[in-house]
Amino acid sequence: MFLSLGYLLLQCVLQFLALHVRSNDFKDLEIVVLRHELDVLRRRTRRPTMTWTDRLFLAAASLTIAKTRPS
């Protein structure tokens, strides 16, 4: 039990540190991507359909995020 609690605590600390290391531009881009994904999911269809512009935007943003993400 203490081992799993220690693991969760370590995970939270590492996520907190990673959040502070990232640049503000990276954070802003990630927020924009997440908002766009929410807009797609909020459409009132049974299964959300993505238009070609949705796919284009997410592909371009994911490449930018992958290039700026710290190793």
pLDDT tens-digit series, residues 11-25: 877 777 767 777 777
The yes-or-no verdict on residue 71 having pLDDT over 60 is no
Please tell me which residue, 30 or 66, carries the higher pLDDT value: 30
As a whole number of Å, the CA-based R_g of the chain is 16
Structure tokens at 49: 């359909």
The SS3 of residue 48 is coil
The stretch 30-53 carries a mean pLDDT of: 82
Q: Where are the domains of the chain?
A: 22-71
Distance CA 66, CA 69 (A): 5
Inter-residue contact 26 to 68 (CB < 8 Å): yes
Residue with tokens 């929410």: 38
**Is the entire prediction scored with pTM above 0.85?**
no
The yes-or-no verdict on residue 64 having pLDDT over 80 is no
